[in-house]
Structure 1
Amino acid sequence: MHAHHDGLVAAGYGKVADAFTAGLARSTRGGAALTVMVDGEKVIDLWGGAADARDGRAWRPDTPTVTFSCSKGLLAILVARLVEVGKVDLDTPVSFYWPEFGQAGKESIPVRWLLSHQAGLSYPTEDITKTDILAWHPVVDKLAAQAPLWEPGIGYSYHALTYGWLVGEVVRRVTGQSVGKAFAELVTGALGARAWFGVPQKELESVAVLAMAPDLDVEALPLPPEFAALKRAVTLGGAFPGTLAGTGTGFNDPDIQAAEVPGGGAVATARALAEIWSSTIVPTPATEPLPADVLTDMVRTQSSGDQVLGLQGLPQPNWGTGFMLDSPARPFLTSSSFGHDGAGGQLAFADPLHRVGFGFVSNDAQGAGDTRALDILDALRRTL
């Protein structure tokens, strides 16, 4: 597959485009897209390769794809907007907004701990099925009834998918709307951004088809028995394959794409991600940036270092409240960047220092040794 790209490269940004093109040449099982905005203006807007490697359907500028955990950053932006208008207080117990959550030792867990992976609910102890996911309520009911896996607040472990339902149910309780509707109303609507929690039926056939690297299969990970539970964080005990997506299964399943899976199922274009993240720090004709006090609070480190459940001594990301922060394990553009990455190479963030909004997505989900986004960041850092 030739690594031709289409789109916009502003003067001076050639090195960034070169890094994208080099990464595209390594995306042999699909395509990719990159949008970079500075001061609210696009300086890079590129795409190329196949949206579906099986039939060669070309990637287009408006091709959306599953963004995996970039979803968590988008959900955190939605929560920030609710904090801004006084509908959510991050340090209030979850049970104030969602009374059923206040059982089995979870009565005093604040909303902030849901967003910083400290709630002790990183995987469900009761199996969750695809049917549960499509209905929403069964998933949140099971999590509300579950006792924490560790004493909440003493440490954190990544809530790979449960994050979305836990935070999403708080959104639902305070807005009276589904996460997807609240997101459209408070985040994407005014921007006209092509990003969704729950893809509209008419858009489903435009979604890129994911090709997953073999080493992303959690079922195949050689984990010691005591970490077998970590696999449940991704599979939920049956709802998802260990690979996350197969032929028409998992996140390639149109039913799942149309449902709301806010921990990993947001579908977006690179352009939409850059527009959304830019809008958190740069005014647009229709929106104001996040208030400084809200943002300062939410980018303060909440969780870092070894996870309660997991292999000890490995470099780990730093977490604010819902936002992933710059760290040696997950470098961003600068130490002031905040955003989120996603499985297989996805990356989206804002950088207040350079007033950057950034979105990189690929349906060629690569595993170990994937440096596509890092190479683009290096080039962007040198350019700025």
Structure 2
Amino acid sequence: MTRPDEHHTTGVAGHYAPQLTPVVEAFAESVHDPTAGGAALSIWHEGEEVVRVHTGIADSRTGRPWDDDTRAILFSATKGLAAVAVARLAESRTLDLEAPVASLWPEFAAEGKGRITVMDVLAHRAGLIAPDGATTIEELTDIREFAARLAAQRPMWPNAGAHLYHALTWGPMVSEIVRLGTGRDAADVFARDVAAPLDAAVALRADDRDMRYIAYTTAPPELELMMSRTVPQMGELAQRMLTAGGALPVTLVGDGTGLNDPRLLRSGQLSAAGTGTASGLARIWSSTVRPTRGLRVLSDEAVKQLTIPRSWGPGAFDKPNGGPYHRWGAGVQLASEALTWLSPSSFGHDGAGGQAGFADPEYGIGFGYVTNRMAAAPVIGPIVDALRSVLDGARDIPSSPPPSV
């Protein structure tokens, strides 16, 4: 077996197996201006890390370079990690995903929501895509109060009869379901049952130590201009959905605001406020399909239940002949025309600006890409295409982890 070692791709630091040079070259090209931001990539194959690289800067205000300990804001990739923790609870029969939410949370039955199940919430079928009015950042970060507000709302469609992405409301509902169903905080469940056993530098609620390593995220002017023009044209409901009732800017980040606000990163908002390294992200996804660091966090049966398609096709307000559309399992994105990833068996979650974490049981892959310079469109396509080409053509993929950097 070839041992991953330090190789030279312009502007990239870290370690990778020589067979994977095309993948790292594609990664380098994903960061158009390393002086404005940075990124990191980790790939695990058959339970071993074969790529761990980074480039650029972690903080455009100070020029702090990206290093191996830098953590990025994960945006909606947070949802996939929370879904893994929930899948573990379901596998241990601690939480029944087919039970009505109201059986755990009686207040949720208000306004005709008594038949909505935990699975419906996970699969974006609850009809609570936005708060019912204006929201402040203080209200958004009070997770239990925000959840109570959603529980009192009328759903936008009856009896989970449609789906639409619950961008910023998904997390508070899942948090409250886990708390009431287990007596434990969801971010703590993830930390103790998933991240800690894998020694993965990922958190769904940042603490003081985490905050020292978090990259400062920026939106380029072209993205700010596009969002400022596009979101108002989408209508008032869409604005409430994408900004949580105005609590966040339309780009999700600003100068110390939005997801750059430490209050949000410390809140345990499972919709978008997770933080982590690319290596930690990929390590967790690897552990869902292969023993990784001696641990398999989900069994094959649990993965099967996690990835049964629950929502697909046009959403509640989508045009019937539009698309391409996403597919959803129990809180994870499945491979689809909208999100092809590595193979039809891939599952995970992406995030605003370019973040992505996924697993692929067919190839035995755990993948993590993070950045702090938001992109207007997903950027990992060429990286994943290069990885697929290498995997399909290689006879000898290295199995030894890279040395520490």
What is the aligned partner in structure 1 of residue 397 from structure 2? Answer: none
Partner Cα separation in structure 1 for residue 293 and residue 26 of structure 2: 31
Instruction: Report the TM-score when normalising by structure 2.
Output: 0.90
Partner Cα separation in structure 2 for residue 137 and residue 154 of structure 1: 26
Asked if 2 retains the 8 angstrom alpha-carbon contact of 1:219 and 1:231, the reply is no
Give the match's secondary structure for 1:339.
strand
Partner Cα separation in structure 2 for residue 245 and residue 310 of structure 1: 27
Q: What's the CA shift for 1:233?
A: 1.1
What is the aligned partner in structure 2 of residue 173 from structure 1? Answer: 180
Is 2:16 the counterpart of 1:9?
Answer: yes
| Residue 271 of structure 1, aligned match among 274, 279, 285 | 279
| Residue 40 of structure 2, aligned match among 33, 43, 46 | 33
What is the aligned partner in structure 1 of residue 337 from structure 2? Answer: 328
What is the aligned partner in structure 2 of residue 184 from structure 1? Answer: 191
What is the aligned partner in structure 2 of residue 100 from structure 1? Answer: 107
What is the aligned partner in structure 2 of residue 47 from structure 1? Answer: 54
Higher mean alpha-carbon deviation, 202-211 vs 38-47, is at 202-211
Asked if 1 retains the 8 angstrom alpha-carbon contact of 2:355 and 2:369, the reply is yes
Q: What's the CA shift for 1:159?
A: 0.2
Q: What's the CA shift for 1:67?
A: 0.8
Runs of at least 5 residues in structure 1 that lack an aligned partner in the other structure: none
Partner Cα separation in structure 2 for residue 321 and residue 208 of structure 1: 30
What is the aligned partner in structure 2 of residue 140 from structure 1? Answer: 147
TM-superposition CA deviations, 1:32-62 (whole Å, max 9, x none): 0000000111111000100012221100111
Aligned residues with identical type, % of pairs: 37
Partner Cα separation in structure 2 for residue 116 and residue 27 of structure 1: 37
Q: What's the CA shift for 1:31?
A: 0.1
Amino acid at match of 2:349: H
What is the aligned partner in structure 2 of residue 347 from structure 1? Answer: 356
What is the aligned partner in structure 1 of residue 87 from structure 2? Answer: 80
Matched ranges for 1:1-384 at <5 A: 4-26=11-33, 29-213=36-220, 214-215=222-223, 218-221=227-230, 224=233, 227-310=235-318, 313-368=322-377, 370=378, 372-384=379-391
Partner Cα separation in structure 1 for residue 73 and residue 33 of structure 2: 19
Asked if 1 retains the 8 angstrom alpha-carbon contact of 2:307 and 2:347, the reply is yes
Asked if 1 retains the 8 angstrom alpha-carbon contact of 2:239 and 2:246, the reply is no
Partner Cα separation in structure 1 for residue 223 and residue 10 of structure 2: 24
Q: What's the CA shift for 1:184?
A: 0.6
Higher mean alpha-carbon deviation, 75-84 vs 211-220, is at 211-220
Give the match's secondary structure for 2:380.
helix
Runs of at least 5 residues in structure 2 that lack an aligned partner in the other structure: 1-8, 392-405
The CA RMSD measured in Å over matched residues stands at 1.8
Amino acid at match of 2:155: P
Q: What's the CA shift for 1:219?
A: 4.6
Give the match's secondary structure for 1:274.
helix
Higher mean alpha-carbon deviation, 128-137 vs 182-191, is at 128-137
* TM-aligned CA distance change 1:3 to 1:236, over 3 Å: farther
* TM-aligned CA distance change 1:218 to 1:170, over 3 Å: farther
Asked if 1 retains the 8 angstrom alpha-carbon contact of 2:44 and 2:366, the reply is yes
Partner Cα separation in structure 1 for residue 366 and residue 69 of structure 2: 17
Give the match's secondary structure for 2:212.
helix
Asked if 1 retains the 8 angstrom alpha-carbon contact of 2:133 and 2:240, the reply is no
Give the match's secondary structure for 2:312.
coil
Partner Cα separation in structure 2 for residue 259 and residue 222 of structure 1: 26
TM-superposition CA deviations, 1:337-380 (whole Å, max 9, x none): 10011111111000001110000011011104x5x311100000
Asked if 1 retains the 8 angstrom alpha-carbon contact of 2:19 and 2:390, the reply is yes
* TM-aligned CA distance change 1:315 to 1:5, over 3 Å: same
Instruction: Report the TM-score when normalising by structure 1.
Output: 0.94
Partner Cα separation in structure 1 for residue 351 and residue 387 of structure 2: 20
